[in-house]
Amino acid sequence: MAKGKFELYQDKAGEYRFRLKASNGETIGASEGYKAKANATNGIISVKKNAADGGRFEIFVGGAEKHYFRLKAVNGETILQSQGYSSSSAAQNGVDSVMKNAPDADIVEV
């Protein structure tokens, strides 16, 4: 059975980033850029740990009236943010997907 995965990669600016993909291959959320690969890996570990706590998620309205979610670590830092959704219920479905896919997701370097 397919499961979610974290894709760890280096962007054009040389920073390390990761994205969480659902079992169907759709991107659920992405990280900020990190200067060191180890810090990006620690970010993934933090997402895995914090994803089980629904209270760590925040749904909000951003640009173009799109709905987003972000996952925050214990220290309040955002560790994963979504793409824009058409409604808050769609954003909540994204949160549910993170909670389902992140804890057991493999890490793949791309």
Q: How many domains in the chain?
A: 1
Give the pLDDT score at 3: 86
- Separation CA 104–CA 67 (nearest Å): 26
Closest CA to 85 of 58, 67, 97, 98: 67
Distance CA 68, CA 18 (A): 18
Range(s) of the domain holding residue 96: 5-109
Tell me the pLDDT of the chain (110 aa) as tens digits: 578 999 999 999 999 999 999 989 999 999 999 999 999 999 999 999 999 999 999 999 998 899 999 999 999 999 999 999 999 999 999 999 999 999 999 999 99
Domain containing residue 26: CATH number: 2.30.29.80
